[in-house]
């Protein structure tokens, strides 16, 4: 659809060019021919710019270790410290009794002004037993890959509730004139 809307003006310019060239016997040809070539050149340049401007922008975020690095891990003998030394820090990691590590990498493609679309996602989940020894390696890829259910305990701190007037007048006296003169 986007390509068609870009190429329509070019097609019209070409049709006009050939129409005028076929009727060139009635009109002085050097001026019309130069004008039509100029119009054709400008429409070609504008359509090329429009097509190039709509090229997708690809952004890769996250980190997933290479397959060779994952093969260095030994199920039943590698510890969390060994894995961090070999692979680096994962997306989710804590020193406490966490029983898994997750490495995630995704590729997002954005075309012009359209909503970004995830084109590829790779997830590596390393599961540990009670003694922090690697017990299982799971790898999923693709956008429709099996979702990983991550349990997390989040403590939401509400902070201090301020009234409207406390927010409006709370900073009076907290500023000095030196802050504004720099």
pTM: 0.54
Q: Which of 7-11, 20-24, 48-52, 114-118 has the highest mean pLDDT?
A: 114-118
Strands of the 57-62 sheet, one edge to the other = 57-62, 100-110, 117-128, 134-141
Residue 27 binned pLDDT confidence (cut-offs 50, 70, 90): low
pLDDT at 90: 85
Closest CA to 102 of 65, 135, 142, 145: 65
pLDDT tens profile 74-97: 888 888 888 888 888 887 666 666
pLDDT score recorded for residue 143:
74
Do the Cβ atoms of 64 and 105 come closer than 8 Å?
yes
Query: Does residue 145 carry a pLDDT above 50?
Result: no
3-state secondary structure of 58: strand
């Amino acid at each position: 659809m986007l390509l068609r809307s870009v190429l329509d003006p070019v097609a019209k310019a070409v049709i006009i060019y050939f129409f005028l060239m076929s009727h060139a016997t009635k009109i002085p040809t050097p001026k019309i021919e130069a004008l039509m070539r100029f119009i054709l050149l400008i429409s070609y340049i504008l359509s090329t710019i429009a097509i190039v401007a709509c090229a997708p922008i690809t952004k890769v975020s996250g980190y997933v270790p290479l397959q060779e690095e994952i093969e260095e891990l030994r199920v039943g003998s590698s510890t969390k410290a060994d894995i961090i030394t070999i692979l680096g820090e994962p997306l989710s990691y804590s020193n406490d009794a966490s029983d898994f590590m997750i490495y995630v990498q995704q590729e997002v493609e954005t075309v012009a002004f359209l909503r970004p679309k995830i084109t590829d996602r790779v997830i590596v989940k390393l599961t540990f037993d009670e003694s922090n020894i690697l017990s299982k390696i799971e790898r999923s890829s693709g956008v429709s890959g099996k979702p990983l259910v991550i349990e997390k305990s989040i403590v939401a701190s509400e902070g201090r509730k301020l009234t409207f007037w406390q927010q409006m007048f709370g900073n009076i006296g907290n500023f000095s004139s030196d802050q504004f003169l720099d």
